[in-house]
Structure 1
Amino acid sequence: MNYLNPSLLATLLLSSPIALAKSTAQNTLEHIEVQGVQARLQSRGVLKDSIAKTELIDAKQLKNMQASNLTEAIDKALGIRVSNECSMCGAKRVMINGMKGEHTNVLIDGVPMHTMLSGFYGMDSVATAGIGTIEIARGAGASLTAPEAIGGTVNLVSQKPNKNAAELEMATGNQGYRKVSMVAMGVSEDERSTISAIAQQDTRDQFDGDNNGVSESPMLDNQSIAITLSHDLSLDTSVKIRYGRSISEVFGGPVLGDTTSSIAETLASVNRGEAASLFSDNTVDGRYTGHPWETAEWVDTQREEWLFSILHSINDELTLDISYANVEHIQDSFYESIDYWAKDDMQFVTAKLYYALNDQHLITIGMDHRDEQMRSHSAALADNPLYMSDSFDYTVSGLYIQETYTPSIDFELALAVRFDRITADFIANRANDDEIDETLVSPRIDMRWFHHENWTSRLSVGQGYRAPLSFFESDHGILDAEKGYLVDVHDVERSIGYNYSLNHSANKINATLSIAYTQVDNLASLSHNEAGTPVLGQLTEQADVWAWDLAVNYQLLEQLQLGASIENYRYNGVFKSSFGIAPTEKRASVNLEFAQANWTVNANYLFVPSRDLSDYGYEGFNDTQAQQAKKTDVSSYGILDFKVSYALSDDIKLYVGMNNALDCSQAADEESPLLFDSEGGYDVTFIYAPLRGRLAYLGFDYDF
């Protein structure tokens, strides 16, 4: 189904927001602003925790990056790396503070809205249209309502309507790049009600850098709609309702229009059996000669989410904040002849009470409950005795309290503790009771200290936890119809993290040094039993990672701002053994923003030095005879992105730009991410550099 049909576009742009419009010609009386409860509490600092270090990406920056989805928006953000986990299905993992993708929790307006399953194929489908700010908080327990965020949280803050307006953006480029997004906002005449509606579709074709008939980056087609309503019932009570729906289709492997005619033809080709060989000359560099299904990975995702919240100021000291979220995530997929269908349904409710004891003490008391059920099945594996469905039931009930102490304008301290009751049951494992049944206590400390007018320190220490429940977190273990896969998880992952940052801010310069250390017990990892069956299990030794980064921004001229950053991550051997794809350990970047009259230029260059992949267990061959070993000492690379915009008028902006302008591509410049193991088995995970080459685009942005 295509949500973005002409009638829907017309509805989004012409319906509710326009119905709420107020003619400016009639607005001749003096405007007196009466702040609602949310604005008052934000001005008092109750609703926003500014003590912990938080990186912000605003709507302007999202446009400057030409970011269509969440992974593109945060890929080059400081302290974050987006790891491409598969050259066929394009699974993306958002890594914070050097932790793995499953240790990141994605929030919408402060509420956890992503399930265990959506962390793999959900990040590329999160549209940027309508996002006002992305807040990135690092460290275990970075959010009181997201204790499972061992690495940190990414909070998508919706753009708040403050006037009647609409925006249309359209862009096109090579590689089948297309983007259409619409945002419409309305404010009622009495300013008590607001509505916003967004719709976005963005597409990309497959990318085959070595032209052998097998893609290294898949086709991607995302479609999203969302509607948000808010209303001030009174000066003390505000309610909000948000509904979102998205679909995403991913297809990688045989190139459409080359080695296969369609996705349907590819899936049906299973009936042909196995081809004599996959590639000419039996090397991954040769022309693909196998049947389409033998390298095909197809993932269709449908997602629906509801969010209800109410904010009520009881009196000057007490404020109540209640939210309820329901998310349904359905995945229908095909992995080289193995089908996998899963439905993940999550319900989350939280209630927080803010008590302003006096000017120095703010107490937050809250409770939340998460109930998640995932059901999966595979027809291809149903009769395999080595196959165990990864269906699970997962519940968490939590209670927390936080005391925020502000003895002076120069110092703030927040002390928090959570109590959680956790149960998790892989329901297909009939031989066991609940695999996880624990009660945890997780403390956290945040401190901010203004040493001087220009110097600020932040320190955070906290514990976190996570239940490793999804097999996809570790590998595509379901790809082997003969070996199947098993789950052997019995404990939560338990972490403690330390984060310190020092910021210097003066008239023209802003610099921040950040240092983080995280250690994790019971880290999930993939292993194989004596029969060779993949097993999702846990490490018995402690894993840890050090991370540090330095970012500097300098206003060289009124029209020109320069920036630079450097990042470094150091893992111990235990942590390294858990990765399926080697993470980037070092990188540096320089960027500039130039604005003069109607022109704006943005550019960013990211550099990753050479490295040794053998530390992460990389090994493989380009040929089935295991004679041509793939190299593990890989070269450095750089990625240059730029965008030039011209304001044709106050309402219309034209732009042109390039992502990866230097055309850096692993398959074209280095070697294919495809490999054979020592037994001639085929895989797609020898990934260490960009898999998609130069993307040139042009478009326009029309505000009305």
Structure 2
Amino acid sequence: MKHLFLIIITLITSITFAQETTVVSGTIKHKSNPIENATVEIVGTNFTTQTDSNGSYSFQNITKSNYKIQVTSVGYKTQRKNISIQSSAQTQLNFELISDDNELNEVVVSGTLKAVKRLESAVPVEVYSPVFFKKNPTPSIYEALQNVNGVRPQLNCGVCNTGDIHINGLEGPYTSVMIDGMPIVSSLSTVYGLSGIPNSLVERIEIVKGPASSLYGSEAVGGLINIITKNPNNAPIFSADVLTTSWLETNVDLGGKFNIKGRATSIVGLNYYNYGQTIDNDHDGFTDVTAQNRISVFNKWNFNRPQNRLFTVAVRGMYEDRWGGDTRWEKKYRGGDEIYGESIYTKRGELLGNYQLPTTEKLMLSFSGTMHFQDSRYGTTSYIANQKIAFIQLTWDKKIQNNDLLTGIASRYTYYDDNTTATAFVNENNPEKTWLPGIFAQDEISFKEKHKILLGIRYDYNSIHGNIFTPRFAYKVKFNDNNILRFNTGTGFRVVNLFTEDHAALTGSREVIIAENLDPEKSVNANLNYIKKIFLNNGTFLGIETTAFYTRFSNKIVSDYETDPNKIIYNNINGYALSQGISCNTDINFTNGLKFILGATYMDVSNVENGIKTRPFLTEKFTATWSVSYKINSIDLGIDYTGNCYSPMKLPLLSETDPRNPNSPWYSIQNIQFTYTGWKNFELYAGIKNLLNFTPKQNNPFLISRTEDPFDKNVQYDANGKVLVTPDNPYGLTFDTTYVYGANQGIRGFFGLRYNLF
């Protein structure tokens, strides 16, 4: 019995020591700044966690063994460290992450609503960091996108200079623009939503080309632009960026961070833009660029919660006053017929947030709300509109073995009212109120390490148009770390409000005709994406990403400018529309500091109606972008040469006698910048924009027709309403501002100063 007792004691002691556990903890930092929400995992186990606001992580109950710990975070290179645990003493393991300038290694969220390394995502997502946009500094994100391959800012009005974003030849309303994943930039705000976001607070911009409606609903029919703002914990204590040009454009970006100890961290950003000149270099009596006075304030809070649960809230307010037109115009002429001007007052407020519920399951509540008020005068035409959008979404994120599930419910409410016939019923005001509830599910299934399939479906019910289904399928094969192939297909939908999206309908003298009740537009898309990484023996890195895309639209709404020069006629196409082509992005990094980012896209965009194929207006067949950067370390000087090139586009003419070119020429906007970084925390930059001094007026007698008679007081018509050719009107035209395809602003210098205090 005595020996049996000793044996039992020995066994219990052995088991106890065999199962003895310890704690592994540490901090994740970058240049002494803590990194929040970095993912820390023990490779080959189920242990995974995220860092808190202090950059700290901890693993409990770790048994004695040898492990490999991996850390990943947005914008930083992945790090792995081996660790050997042989005792019960707590082990401290810290990481110092290095910034990752290679866009192929970014972590993205837009493709699947989950944070995932870009190369691991089944959905192709393009990522652009502030480093990319600093190569050609601009006062707004709208202008900054001009150097992104396949993305083109398009001016829609030659006087007020409003515009939208084209992706792969598709007009702006087909692109959903989001801030931190919230659909707050849509409909009325599409034209102005990309202005006034402080560039200093942007962490990165993610772009998905192709429908994303199975996750994001309406508007994401042709593409998605997601602006990710900085995490307050990672932002500098103070930042400033002041830019001015030889045209006396002034842009100021200010940012600051403060902490409420142990409770929250907040960042505040201010953007101010002013341009008050009345330059008329094309001598038509009208301003070449609209005068603008804009101020925007952004504030984001990150609250500390138990177990690192997420809670962020952000607000933004914007006010803008812009005008263009006759150089003699003053505010006293606003809305009158004495001197022509287009004057737009915009007030906008936004609220967005994310709250992780205090449950064992990962449940995330996301919400946003916007208010947008616009008071415009296009000559004597008044456009006063009020739009409110409320959005709420609850998602459940669950990983079960090889299945990565995401399900959610969402609802969007849109209120829209204006002073046009769009919200009138039997001579009474009838604001449009639309509910759009939806439910969606997504499953990302991994087969070993090489194969991954994504299945998704969404159901929405529109209070006007009824039921809408949007399925999605994606397949990724990872041959190895340097060769990845993806295939994606899915559908998208968009509920349309013409008056909020087509400002050509409100400018000039054209009458808007809606030929029928417009149905929601729908699209089916397929794309094939291939990524190749090449590491040469001399250390040079070459990344190549090629995508072939095909999108077919049904119910597409087309605008007819040609049937009647005094009208714009809208209806659903009796047929279909296509957008197809191929694009390629190349990233080359040499060991001597020379870096190339090159992109090119060839596309065939067409409308097919009654068996006849036509090319839409303002759609190029080929576009190219480039960025060449080199750093001379000995003198702390960086050089950036950026540019783009566009093939001819079909342009809207008023009549057969219109003397303007029916197609735009090949044209290119090129820029050069020099940046000095020899002073601590400062960057001094200067350069030249539009080196070739290109303006749309070249090879055209005029851009805006009949600026001498903008109210058409001297235009004569025949019995059928056709404009007559008279000595005073030799081309038989009316006043019109729709002939525009690029900014009417020539060569100019710029100078700026940046300061960051960490």
Query: Is TM > 0.5 for Structure 1 vs Structure 2?
Result: yes
Provide the secondary structure at the position in 2 that maps to 1:211. Answer: coil
Other-structure match for 1:464:
492
2:145 is equivalent to residue 105 of structure 1: no
Q: 2:752 aligns with which of 693, 699, 702?
A: 699
Distance 1:198 1:656 in 2: 23
Distance 1:35 1:178 in 2: 44
Provide the secondary structure at the position in 2 that maps to 1:129. Answer: helix
Contact 1:374 1:391 in 2 (8 A): yes
Other-structure match for 1:289:
none
Distance 1:482 1:514 in 2: 40
Other-structure match for 2:363:
320
Rate the CA distance shift 1:655–1:489 in 2: closer, same or farther, 3 A. Answer: same
Distance 2:502 2:615 in 1: 8
Identity of paired residues, percent?
17
Provide the secondary structure at the position in 2 that maps to 1:489. Answer: coil
CA-CA distance at 1:484 after TM superposition: 6.1
Contact 1:477 1:485 in 2 (8 A): no
CA-CA distance at 1:366 after TM superposition: 0.2
Q: Deviations over 1:141-171 (max 9, x none)?
A: 2661344311111111111133561111212
2:228 is equivalent to residue 157 of structure 1: yes
2:145 is equivalent to residue 74 of structure 1: yes
Q: Deviations over 1:437-467 (max 9, x none)?
A: 2201110112222123321112210111001
> Equivalent residues in 2 for 1:249-264 (5 A)?
249-255=321-327, 259-260=328-329, 262=330, 264=331
Report the AA paired with residue 210 of structure 1.
D
2:649 is equivalent to residue 642 of structure 1: no
Q: 1:419 aligns with which of 455, 459, 462?
A: 459
CA-CA distance at 1:230 after TM superposition: 1.0
Rate the CA distance shift 1:268–1:392 in 2: closer, same or farther, 3 A. Answer: closer
Distance 2:669 2:55 in 1: 47
Rate the CA distance shift 1:389–1:99 in 2: closer, same or farther, 3 A. Answer: farther
Distance 1:105 1:138 in 2: 11
CA-CA distance at 1:629 after TM superposition: 1.9
Structure-2-length-normalised TM-score: 0.76
Provide the secondary structure at the position in 2 that maps to 1:572. Answer: strand
Distance 1:548 1:207 in 2: 40
CA-CA distance at 1:65 after TM superposition: 2.0
Report the AA paired with residue 746 of structure 2.
G
Other-structure match for 1:602:
640
Structure-1-length-normalised TM-score: 0.81
Distance 1:533 1:673 in 2: 19
Contact 2:682 2:755 in 1 (8 A): yes
CA-CA distance at 1:301 after TM superposition: 0.9
Other-structure match for 2:122:
51
Distance 1:689 1:639 in 2: 10
RMSD: 3.2
> Equivalent residues in 2 for 1:502-521 (5 A)?
502-507=530-535, 508-521=541-554
Other-structure match for 1:119:
190
Contact 1:592 1:603 in 2 (8 A): yes
Q: 1:491 aligns with which of 514, 519, 540?
A: 519
CA-CA distance at 1:335 after TM superposition: 0.6
Provide the secondary structure at the position in 2 that maps to 1:71. Answer: helix
Provide the secondary structure at the position in 2 that maps to 1:102. Answer: helix
CA-CA distance at 1:40 after TM superposition: 9.6
2:568 is equivalent to residue 546 of structure 1: no
Contact 2:605 2:615 in 1 (8 A): no
Other-structure match for 1:526:
559
Rate the CA distance shift 1:387–1:587 in 2: closer, same or farther, 3 A. Answer: farther
Other-structure match for 2:353:
308
Contact 2:695 2:745 in 1 (8 A): yes
Q: 1:686 aligns with which of 739, 745, 757?
A: 739
Provide the secondary structure at the position in 1 that maps to 2:544. Answer: strand
Segment drifting more, 412-421 vs 532-541: 532-541
Other-structure match for 1:585:
621
Contact 2:202 2:227 in 1 (8 A): yes
Provide the secondary structure at the position in 2 that maps to 1:144. Answer: helix
> Equivalent residues in 2 for 1:234-273 (5 A)?
234-255=306-327, 259-260=328-329, 262=330, 264-267=331-334, 269-270=336-337, 272=338
> Equivalent residues in 2 for 1:663-682 (5 A)?
663-667=693-697, 670-675=700-705, 679-682=732-735
Distance 1:658 1:142 in 2: 40
CA-CA distance at 1:298 after TM superposition: 1.3
Q: 1:564 aligns with which of 584, 598, 619?
A: 598
Other-structure match for 1:441:
469
Distance 1:172 1:542 in 2: 46
Provide the secondary structure at the position in 2 that maps to 1:265. Answer: helix
Q: 2:446 aligns with which of 406, 409, 431?
A: 406
Report the AA paired with residue 48 of structure 1.
A
2:691 is equivalent to residue 661 of structure 1: yes
Rate the CA distance shift 1:220–1:457 in 2: closer, same or farther, 3 A. Answer: farther
Other-structure match for 1:361:
403
Report the AA paired with residue 523 of structure 1.
K
Q: 1:333 aligns with which of 376, 382, 401?
A: 376
Q: Deviations over 1:207-228 (max 9, x none)?
A: 5331232123322332110111
Rate the CA distance shift 1:58–1:387 in 2: closer, same or farther, 3 A. Answer: farther
Contact 1:488 1:537 in 2 (8 A): yes
Rate the CA distance shift 1:365–1:578 in 2: closer, same or farther, 3 A. Answer: farther
Contact 1:581 1:685 in 2 (8 A): no
Other-structure match for 1:177:
249
CA-CA distance at 1:571 after TM superposition: 1.5
CA-CA distance at 1:312 after TM superposition: 3.7
Contact 1:210 1:668 in 2 (8 A): no
Q: Deviations over 1:123-150 (max 9, x none)?
A: 3343323011111111112661344311
Distance 2:649 2:395 in 1: 48
Rate the CA distance shift 1:619–1:456 in 2: closer, same or farther, 3 A. Answer: same
| Gap runs ≥5 in structure 2 | 1-31, 33-52, 60-70, 75-106, 536-540, 707-722, 724-730
Distance 2:312 2:144 in 1: 26
Q: Deviations over 1:74-130 (max 9, x none)?
A: 122122111111111112111123221001111111111113111123333433230
Distance 2:218 2:335 in 1: 44
Distance 1:563 1:667 in 2: 30
Aligned residues: 621
Q: Deviations over 1:189-239 (max 9, x none)?
A: 55x622111001123345533123212332233211011111122115221
CA-CA distance at 1:375 after TM superposition: 0.6
Provide the secondary structure at the position in 2 that maps to 1:175. Answer: coil
Rate the CA distance shift 1:253–1:143 in 2: closer, same or farther, 3 A. Answer: farther
Contact 1:85 1:581 in 2 (8 A): no
Rate the CA distance shift 1:579–1:300 in 2: closer, same or farther, 3 A. Answer: farther
Distance 2:510 2:619 in 1: 30
2:62 is equivalent to residue 62 of structure 1: no
Rate the CA distance shift 1:480–1:220 in 2: closer, same or farther, 3 A. Answer: closer
Rate the CA distance shift 1:142–1:511 in 2: closer, same or farther, 3 A. Answer: farther
Other-structure match for 1:286:
none
Distance 2:452 2:204 in 1: 24
Contact 1:142 1:153 in 2 (8 A): no
Distance 1:483 1:353 in 2: 49
Rate the CA distance shift 1:649–1:305 in 2: closer, same or farther, 3 A. Answer: same
CA-CA distance at 1:323 after TM superposition: 1.0
Report the AA paired with residue 403 of structure 2.
H
Report the AA paired with residue 353 of structure 2.
F
